[in-house]
């Protein structure tokens, strides 16, 4: 099974390589783009920036009718330390629905333009940096290392990405940050959309910017322009749901009910799944309903390994449950739909897949109503007048389903449950904790002492330690403990082997070190 899976991944890579040529062309800047002049003067010094370079011009323009986003950036290399990073150009995109249009590459040296467009020689690389986490995205990166870049050069690069994932149907969503980690001399954002469309949009904290709305024959045009943009000021330990920068946001949706209807279409099954093979594997015929729920959750969490084929529509649409059972892998949406289908087969009809945002959590609605603001899928079901939440991507969770730990993702979209608002999670999480006991045995002041350490974990702490022990050997853990102890004591020797007591039913995990 493992070798077949590896061949499958390799075949996907070869397929993506075979279509590279169809998704990378050089052509003139589109007619709908408004040309923006590069600032001549700058108030930024090399002491204001990090990495040795910054962006003199950031020009992003979007045309929703043409499903295109134009990007024009001018990189100012202000110190020798910035030459290496600034001279590497890269654009990542999904070849299943996007095409890359390259427009120009100019080098501005002592205010004279050098046209290097004909020198562009992009290598097309597979951007699979998440394979270790079990995710195949199908994205590629067009990558080029520029020759002859010098201090004080300005690198002027423009391109357009055309295409929108068809899984989102004809709905639109745009999000443009209006600040970066370094200062910007001139920021320009321009959005064109049909003037007969009633899109929602907002420019957050844009009072100091030039902000205008106008109409042409075909479009409503929003333009945002800001000079001398300050760098983002990041605080330590800032929560993931806080956006520490100004931004523009646009959405074609007007209600979460519309998003829910879209999600129901995406998660809909063409046929009633045949999952009898699963029940034959996990049931003995003597289980109560509670026993069945526990066994179903254990099967989906532990027997279906986490692996996502998230290229194109596959990044959003789940595989049919029968296919997930056959291949024995799936990502969060695949495992969630399988869990919901299995629960419904045993009579738990109020089981739903749930869309969440693990970063924004309770503040997800700050991002506007859209089908593009979620990044994870879990499950909600009702049993005996109680609501339970399960994350099917968690493996090796111990205890009864009533006590399973699930993170509180705040506001969520329950697919198929009628509501015009997001629902607020209220997971019933059992108490979790860690108790560490250290026993010292000292015979005399001249003989070596003995130390016995017992760590007792329960609840989510036990789940986490159980997962760690699935990955590391007892020797690995013992070596780490000894290394830490040597920071406190001049000499440390291991007396015995690590003893592990894992009680899955009560979800406790105890380790004895000596």
DSSP 56-83: EEEEEEEETTTTEEEEEEEEEE-SGGGH
What is the phi/psi pair of residue 159, to 5°? Answer: -155, 165
Question: In this structure, what CATH number is given to the domain that contains residue 198?
Answer: 2.60.40.3140
Section 404-431 average pLDDT: 90
Q: Do 461 and 390 fall within a single domain?
A: no
The per-residue pLDDT for range 23-41, each reduced to its tens digit, is 578 899 999 999 999 998 8
pLDDT at residue 5 in the model: 40
pLDDT at residue 359 in the model: 95
pLDDT at residue 133 in the model: 60
The per-residue pLDDT for range 292-312, each reduced to its tens digit, is 999 999 999 999 999 877 767
CA distance 412 to 358: 10
Beta bridge partners of 90: 143
User: For the chain, what is the domain count?
Assistant: 3
Of the residues 233, 252, 271, the one at which a domain ends: 252
Q: Do 29 and 134 fall within a single domain?
A: yes
pLDDT at residue 12 in the model: 43
Q: How far is CA 494 from CA 277, 379, 442, 452, 501, in A?
A: 48, 45, 16, 10, 19
Question: In this structure, what CATH number is given to the domain that contains residue 360?
Answer: 3.10.620.30
Residue 364 has pLDDT above 50, yes or no: yes
Q: How far is CA 208 from CA 204, 205, 225, 441, 475, in A?
A: 11, 8, 10, 69, 59
Helices and strands in the chain: count of H runs, count of E runs: 9, 28
Q: Do 93 and 222 fall within a single domain?
A: yes
Which two three-digit tokens encode residue 145? 């290392």
Instruction: Pick 17 or 462 by higher pLDDT.
Output: 462
Helix (H, G, I), strand (E, B) or coil at 399: coil
CA distance 298 to 258: 33
Q: Do 362 and 437 fall within a single domain?
A: no
pLDDT band at 1 (very low <50, low <70, confident <90, very high): very low
Domain of 472, in residue numbers = 433-513
CA distance 328 to 306: 9
Q: Do 156 and 78 fall within a single domain?
A: yes
Sign of the torsion angle spanned by Cα atoms 367, 371, 376, 378: positive
CA distance 91 to 100: 8
Of the residues 396, 424, 452, the one at which a domain ends: 424
303 neighbors 396 (Cβ within 8 angstroms): no
Residue 198 has pLDDT above 70, yes or no: yes
Count CB atoms within 10 A of the CB of residue 251: 22
* Percent of the chain's residues with pLDDT above 90: 64
Residue 15 has pLDDT above 60, yes or no: no
Which of the residue ranges 84-98, 148-162, 335-349, 441-455 would you say has the lowest mean pLDDT? 441-455
């Amino acid at each position: 099974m493992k070798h077949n899976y590896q061949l499958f991944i390799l075949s996907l890579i070869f397929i993506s390589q075979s279509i590279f040529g169809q998704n990378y062309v050089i052509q003139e800047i589109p007619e709908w783009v408004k040309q923006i002049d590069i600032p001549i003067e700058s108030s930024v010094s090399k002491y204001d920036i990090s990495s040795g370079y910054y962006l003199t011009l950031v020009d992003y323009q979007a045309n929703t009718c043409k499903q295109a986003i134009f990007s024009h950036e001018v990189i100012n290399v202000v110190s020798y330390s910035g030459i290496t990073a600034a001279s590497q150009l890269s654009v990542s995109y999904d070849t299943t629905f996007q095409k890359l249009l390259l427009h120009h590459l100019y080098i501005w040296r002592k205010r004279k333009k050098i046209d290097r467009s004909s020198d562009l020689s992009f290598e097309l690389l597979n951007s699979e940096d998440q394979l270790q986490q079990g995710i195949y995205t199908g994205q590629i990166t067009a990558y080029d290392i520029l020759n002859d870049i010098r201090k004080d050069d300005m690198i002027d690069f423009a391109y357009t990405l055309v295409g929108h994932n068809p899984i989102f149907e004809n709905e639109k969503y745009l999000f443009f940050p209006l600040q970066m980690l370094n200062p910007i001399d001139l920021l320009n954002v321009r959005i064109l959309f049909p003037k007969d469309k009633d899109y929602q949009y907002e420019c957050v904290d844009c009072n100091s910017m030039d902000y205008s709305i106008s109409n042409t024959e075909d479009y409503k045009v929003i333009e945002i322009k800001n000079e001398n943009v300050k760098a983002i000021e990041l605080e330590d330990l800032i929560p993931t749901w806080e956006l520490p920068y100004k931004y523009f946001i646009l959405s074609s949706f007007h209600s979460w009910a519309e998003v829910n209807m879209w999600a129901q279409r995406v998660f809909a099954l063409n046929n009633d799944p045949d999952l009898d093979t699963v029940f034959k594997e996990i049931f003995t015929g003597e289980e109560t309903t509670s026993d069945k729920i526990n066994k179903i959750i254990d099967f989906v969490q532990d027997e279906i390994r986490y692996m996502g084929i998230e290229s194109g529509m596959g990044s959003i649409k789940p595989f049919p449950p029968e296919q997930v059972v056959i291949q024995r892998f799936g990502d969060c949406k695949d495992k969630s739909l399988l869990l919901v289908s299995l629960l419904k087969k045993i009579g738990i009809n109020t089981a739903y897949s749930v869309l969440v945002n693990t970063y924004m959590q309770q503040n997800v609605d700050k991002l506007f109503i859209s089908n593009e603001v979620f990044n994870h899928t879990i499950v909600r079901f009702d049993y005996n007048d109680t609501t339970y939440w399960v994350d099917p991507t968690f493996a090796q969770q111990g205890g009864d389903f009533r006590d399973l730990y699930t993170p509180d993702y705040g506001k969520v979209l329950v697919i198929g449950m009628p509501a015009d608002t997001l629902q607020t999670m209220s997971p019933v999480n059992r108490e979790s904790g860690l108790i560490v006991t250290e026993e010292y045995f000292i015979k005399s002041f001249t003989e070596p002492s003995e130390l016995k350490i017992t760590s007792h974990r329960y609840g989510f702490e036990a789940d986490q330690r159980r997962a760690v022990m699935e990955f590391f050997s007892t020797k690995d853990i013992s070596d780490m403990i000894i290394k830490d102890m040597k920071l406190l004591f001049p000499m440390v020797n291991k007396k015995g082997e690590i003893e592990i007591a894992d009680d899955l039913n009560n979800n406790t995990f105890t380790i004895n070190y000596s």
